[in-house]
Amino acid sequence: MTLADEDKNYAMSYRAATSGVGLRCPGIARHASDATAIHRGEGGYVVRRCVEKAATAERRGVIVSAGGFAMRVPLTCAFILGVVSGARTMLPGTAVGRAIRRKTLSVKGTRLAFLESANLNRVLGVLALMELVADKLPMIPSRKTAASFTVRLASGALAGAAVGASMRRATLGALLGVAGAVVGTEGGAAFRSWLASLFERDLPAAVIEDLVAFALLGYATSKLNACALPAESSPA
């Protein structure tokens, strides 16, 4: 395949990705100016020649297809954030809010635009710190009580919806977040119970659960950073 053919194919994928059929990946678009020039190619296409970035994005989980860009990574992250909410309710909201503030995700023009609020993000951060402390206290009720379970499901749904909104799939993202929250709540409770019996104390089990939650959170946010997907209210 000649360079001109690569340019043309990439341009077609880019046009499809920004036409509303699919979505562009700023893992490519955001850095296109780093190594490439914008020029006019065959057939009048405005080509952003970034074949290397496209290949890198594909390795990160971006699938280039005739219908545009099908994004696997963000939906996986929506599920993982749901799992984290089952362990630590406030962490996913804090992470998503931070990602939105850093422009890794964008919910502008959606019903989730309130997540852009700096004050809300500060509150979520404080609540996350308070939860990390309160979780170690013996008087805290089980996460499987109706109220606690419901809050965790809501947290997973919100985080998943924010990620899903970045590819105009907020409902699917929310459902994946809820599914992850169920797994995180039930699985996390069983895992912590097993660790507590192993250590014959709950505190080491709680700390290990914290570490697992942060590891999952770090993995999800790193993947979102690698392939950010800002939502746009109208095609570019």
For 4-41, the pLDDT digits (tens) are 454 445 444 544 444 333 333 433 333 333 334 333 34
Class of residue 174 by CB neighbours under 10 A (exposed 0-12, middle 13-18, buried 19+): buried
For the chain, give the percent of residues with pLDDT over 90: 47
- Which range has the worst mean pLDDT, 6-20, 37-51, 123-137, 180-194? 37-51
The three-point CA angle 202-208-212 to 5° equals 140
| 235 domain-assigned | no
| Mean pLDDT on 204-226 | 92
Please indicate, yes or no, whether residues 45 and 78 belong to a single structural domain of this protein. no
Which residue from 105, 212, 213 is spatially nearest to 159, judged by alpha carbons? Answer: 105
| 190 domain-assigned | yes
Q: Which range is most confident: 16-20, 108-112, 198-202?
A: 198-202
Q: Are 47 and 38 in contact (CB under 8 A)?
A: yes
Question: What is the b/e burial string over 149-164, where b = at least 16 CB atoms within 10 angstroms of the residue's CB?
Answer: bebbbbbbbbbbbbbb
| 232 domain-assigned | no
Residues β-bridged to residue 103: none
Residue 154 has a pLDDT of 96
What tens digit of pLDDT does each residue of 51-100 get? 444 444 444 444 433 333 345 677 899 999 999 999 999 999 999 998 88
Please indicate, yes or no, whether residues 14 and 129 belong to a single structural domain of this protein. no
Please indicate, yes or no, whether residues 66 and 14 belong to a single structural domain of this protein. yes
Please indicate, yes or no, whether residues 33 and 86 belong to a single structural domain of this protein. no
| 234 domain-assigned | no
Please indicate, yes or no, whether residues 183 and 142 belong to a single structural domain of this protein. yes
C-alpha distances in Å from residue 123, one per residue of 97, 108, 115, 118, 153: 11, 20, 11, 9, 19
Place of tokens 């971006």: 62
- Residue 230: partners with Cβ closer than 8 Å, 6 or more residues away: 26, 103, 105, 106, 166
Please indicate, yes or no, whether residues 33 and 110 belong to a single structural domain of this protein. no
| 185 domain-assigned | yes
Give the count of domains, the chain: 2
Whether pTM > 0.75 for this model: the answer is no
Three-class DSSP category at 62: strand
Instruction: Answer left, alpha or beta for residue 168, where phi above 0 means left and psi between -120 and 50 means alpha.
Output: left
Please indicate, yes or no, whether residues 96 and 43 belong to a single structural domain of this protein. no
State which residues form the domain around 48. Answer: 3-70
| 107 domain-assigned | yes
Please indicate, yes or no, whether residues 213 and 105 belong to a single structural domain of this protein. yes
Please indicate, yes or no, whether residues 17 and 63 belong to a single structural domain of this protein. yes
Please indicate, yes or no, whether residues 89 and 203 belong to a single structural domain of this protein. yes
